[in-house]
Amino acid sequence: MIGVFDSGSGGLTVMRALEHALPTESFIYLGDHGNAPYGNRSPADIYDLTLRGIERLFGLGCSLVIIACNTAAATGLRQLQQTWLPHAYPQHRVIGIIVPMIEAITGMPWEAQATTATLTDVTPAGPALHVAVCATRHTVNSGAYVTEIAKRAPTIRVTQQACPELARMIDDGATDDEIRPYVGTYIGELLVPPRDVPDVCILACTHYPLIEHLFREVLPSRVRLLTQGDVTAASLQRYLARHPRFVSAEAAATVYLTTGDPVHVSAVAGRFYGRVVQFQGLS
């Protein structure tokens, strides 16, 4: 059984892609709605809450957990993988949604230590590839994408753009007309001269696939947009092929859990998932 952890409902855009790509797998989705949003919390709080959510999923029978939250993954994934997991749960694994995107951008597996890449998975290879990262302020401040891309492909230029209001507005059910000016402002800041137009734009927040069309409206047509759901699903397929012991033995099914109000969360979740989702409460 595979666990999927998020601070709220945004991770459902990843969960949807996982179910589509891996229809025979069994999943448990845990949204920590009772403590959301994580973006307003300290790194120590985010780490502790993430650790608690992962432990809950381990306790429910998951031996592999995906952190489907950029803020949580950027803040504490490496620390818990290196310091907590080997001692507390040595046979379990925790992976995130940032690594698959780094792999897709650089064309290199995470284990690789070389400093060059072909980039053919994203766009024709070239030393001047320019990647834009649109994300929450917390993810931008972490520098996770800049640091990890530079380690594997230092010729790639990375420009970050914080979009601090978008996730909250999506959670609040704002309309396209209400959100559109904000997207226009953020992309205007991204493209302000003398910056050039990026080749690739990563929507590095799991909420943003719901407004991908608004980004598409204001970005030049030649800019390729990447969202995390399909990239993460493809990466998980490869991971399970390399580590078949994590393939679910149970019949395919997905359970949805929340630390918040399950009635309210269920009512909102359909916007992220594209269909009705029934969450169960987890205190």
**Predicted pLDDT of residue 239:** 94
Q: What whole-number distance in Å separates Cα of residue 191 and Cα of residue 116? A: 27
- 122 compared with 201, residue with greater pLDDT: 201
Active-site residue 201, yes or no? no
**Predicted pLDDT of residue 127:** 52
- 80 compared with 250, residue with greater pLDDT: 80
**Predicted pLDDT of residue 125:** 43
Please tell me which residue in 134, 163, 201, 205 is annotated as part of the active site. 205
CATH topology of domain 2-96+229-281: Rossmann fold (3.40.50)
Q: Same fold for the domain at 2-96+229-281 and the one at 100-227? A: yes
Asked if the 100-227 domain carries CATH number 3.40.960.10, the reply is no
User: What integer is the mean pLDDT of 183-207?
Assistant: 94
Q: Is residue 202 predicted with pLDDT exceeding 60?
A: yes
Residue 273 tokens read as 């998932």
Over pLDDT 70: what percentage of the chain? 93
CB 219 within 8 A of CB 253: no
Q: Is residue 60 predicted with pLDDT exceeding 80?
A: yes
Q: What whole-number distance in Å separates Cα of residue 17 and Cα of residue 40? A: 27
**Predicted pLDDT of residue 109:** 66
- 23 compared with 38, residue with greater pLDDT: 23
Ranges of each domain in the chain: 2-96+229-281, 100-227
Q: Is residue 155 predicted with pLDDT exceeding 80?
A: yes
Please tell me which residue in 69, 134, 163, 201 is annotated as part of the active site. 69
Q: Is residue 179 predicted with pLDDT exceeding 60?
A: yes
Active-site residue 69, yes or no? yes
**Predicted pLDDT of residue 275:** 87
3-state secondary structure 126-151: CCCCEEEEEECHHHHHHCHHHHHHHH
Q: Is residue 126 predicted with pLDDT exceeding 60?
A: no
Q: What whole-number distance in Å separates Cα of residue 164 and Cα of residue 186? A: 9
3-state class (DSSP) for residue 259: coil
